[in-house]
Amino acid sequence: MWITRSQAPAADTARAIAAAAGVLRAAQRVVVATGAGMSCESGIPTFRDALTGLWARYDPEELATEAAFRRHPARVFGWYAWRRRLVRAATPHPGYHALVALERFVPELVIVTQNVDGLHRRAGSRRVVELHGSLDRFSCVDARHPFPAAAAPEPAEDTECEPPSCPECGAPVRPDVVWFGETLPAQATAEAWDLAASCQAMLVVGTSGLVQPAAQLPFIARDGGATVIEVNPDPTDVSAAAHIICRGPAGVVLPALVAALTEGAAT
């Protein structure tokens, strides 16, 4: 894999990447925890940055709580339909493809993401735990009966949109994402916590370390004896828990990490 001169990591980052490659080579189980920064590099606006145009007049609490959905279902459903269109227009950056390539070098690699855009799966990653749900899944607001995504309305415009009704119980259908005040999906959470406690290395990519409870994962991994590797252009609350810090965008650092592993494998 080639990286151009302008994309080459800085010297201290290159040393950190070499150290990270050494850790990954020896690891049996690796967890990659990703957050909003990963999506951002593919041009997907963060939750708050998505409050533009028609939606600029609303607070997040008016668009991402169950109470808001019950009061204004068309407004909330329309906002999520718009976000799905933004995601569909985006393409996974080289960091996503590097994580797919990383599966060749690690016996067990699992991605635990706070992102709801499905880009890891679209890029081809095989094991992805979605802690905050997915924009591509739907269920009814009362009983959480699953609803097929293919039957969800897709407005062509940035507009409000009436949600469909659940065929089982008649309740309005909502996106299967975690809203403010809701707990994380139990199965995904249990899996993520078990993986964090039992992995030998955790890559923390593009997360601020501010969103709970996902922010606990690097600390659980560290307590369990794993080497924590941060990949982020800026210092974060995770930096204190990290043994190795690769300062730079995921789209540059992760391909360089795969290149380091490839060189190591050839010698």
Given 3, 143, 210, 265, the residue binding Zn ion (CB under 5 A): 143
- Position 168 contacts Zn ion (CB under 5 A): yes
Listed ranges 12-20, 127-135, 145-153, 218-226: which one lies at the site for Zn ion (CB under 5 A)? 145-153
Least Å distance between CB 62 and Zn ion? Answer: 24
If binding is defined by CB under 5 A, does position 169 make contact with Zn ion? yes
Q: How far is CA 28 from each of CA 44, 64, 226, rounded to the nearest angstrom?
A: 32, 38, 11
Q: At its nearest, how many Å lie between Zn ion and the CB of residue 142?
A: 6
Helix (H) or strand (E) holding 95: helix 94-102
What residues contact 170, with CB distance under 8 A and at least 6 apart?
Answer: none
Catalytic residue, candidates 97, 120, 132, 145: 132
Cα 124 versus chain centre, distance = 14
The yes or no reply on residue 161 touching Zn ion (CB under 5 A) is: no
Q: State the amino acid at position 50 in one-letter form.
A: A
Residue 35 has phi, psi (to 5 degrees) of -135, -165
Residue 258, classed as helix, strand or coil, is helix
Helix (H, G, I), strand (E, B) or coil at 11: helix
Residue span binding Zn ion (CB under 5 A) among the ranges 154-162, 164-172, 197-205, 211-219: 164-172
DSSP 8-state secondary structure symbol assigned to residue 54? G
Nearer to Zn ion, 89 or 150 (CB): 150
Q: Which is nearer to Zn ion, 127 or 145 (CB)?
A: 145
State yes or no: is 132 an active-site residue.
yes
Q: Interface with Zn ion includes 166 (CB under 5 A)?
A: yes
Site string for Zn ion, 56-95 (x = CB under 5 A): ----------------------------------------
Rounded to whole angstroms, the Cα distance separating 66 from 177 reads 11
39 class by beta-carbon count within 10 Å (0-12 exposed, 13-18 middle, 19+ buried): buried
Q: Indicate which single residue of 25, 70, 145, 247 sits in contact with Zn ion (rule: CB under 5 A).
A: 145
Which positions touch Zn ion (CB under 5 A)?
140, 143, 145, 166, 168-169, 171
Q: Which residues are catalytic?
A: 132
